[in-house]
């Protein structure tokens, strides 16, 4: 598991201001660059929910790492602009998934366990189950079958079902 302190170190090194704020319930985090300062706001409702806090903070740091400019959705936007924002949201989410759940660590975890559930993997990486499934979705876009060892493979071609194929 990547410690939460590693996220805080990134914030310190990059001089990002992070603050809890009373945001609308449907907005868990918000990243903004005003030309002088990088700012991450975290919804007050995340206090005490370490898993969700980690995933939201990592995704907001992902915006810092992958996004240039303001990608705040507006009430009236053309489809082209909305699609561009969606792409940037996916880039930030992918960065967050790769940071909190390194692919090599995930493969090692699955390889060394005979039976492991999505909940167990989420517990191990201290993320939400939804975030864990997003990691599998990103991995499936790279390739649908991942080698675990010489005769076992992690199969991601039928998501949300994830299974291990044992060959002869």
Q: What are the structural domain ranges in the chain?
A: 4-100, 103-166
Give the mean model confidence (pLDDT) for residues 152-163.
92
Higher pLDDT among residues 83 and 107, named by residue? 107
pTM confidence score? 0.87
Residue range 4-100, CATH number:
1.10.10
Higher pLDDT among residues 3 and 77, named by residue? 3
Task: Give the whole-number percent of the chain exceeding pLDDT 90.
Answer: 70
Measured CA to CA, the distance from residue 60 to residue 45 in angstroms comes to 16
Measured CA to CA, the distance from residue 101 to residue 56 in angstroms comes to 14
Contact status, residue 164 vs residue 151, Cβ threshold 8 Å = no
Give the mean model confidence (pLDDT) for residues 119-133.
96
Give yes or no for residue 59 having a pLDDT over 60.
Answer: yes
Q: What is the pLDDT of residue 21?
A: 95
Q: What is the pLDDT of residue 75?
A: 65
Measured CA to CA, the distance from residue 159 to residue 145 in angstroms comes to 12
Local confidence band at 57 (pLDDT 50, 70, 90 cut-offs): very high
Give the mean model confidence (pLDDT) for residues 38-54.
95
- Across the chain, mean pLDDT equals 90
Give the mean model confidence (pLDDT) for residues 101-106.
96
């Amino acid at each position: 598991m990547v410690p939460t302190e590693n996220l805080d170190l990134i914030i310190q090194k990059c001089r990002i201001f992070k603050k809890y704020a009373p945001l609308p319930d449907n907005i868990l985090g918000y990243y903004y660059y005003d030309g002088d300062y990088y700012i991450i706001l975290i919804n007050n409702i995340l206090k005490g929910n370490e898993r969700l806090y980690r995933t939201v903070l990592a995704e907001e740091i992902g915006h810092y790492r992958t996004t240039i400019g303001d990608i705040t959705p507006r009430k009236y936007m053309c489809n082209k602009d909305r699609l561009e924002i969606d792409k940037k949201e996916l880039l930030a989410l992918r960065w967050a998934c790769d940071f909190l759940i390194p692919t090599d660590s995930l493969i090692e975890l699955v390889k060394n366990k005979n039976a492991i559930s999505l909940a167990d993997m989420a517990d191990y990486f201290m993320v939400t189950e939804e975030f864990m499934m997003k990691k599998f979705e990103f991995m499936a876009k790279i390739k649908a079958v991942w080698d675990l060892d010489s005769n076992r493979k992690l199969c991601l071609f039928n998501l949300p079902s994830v299974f291990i194929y044992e060959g002869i």
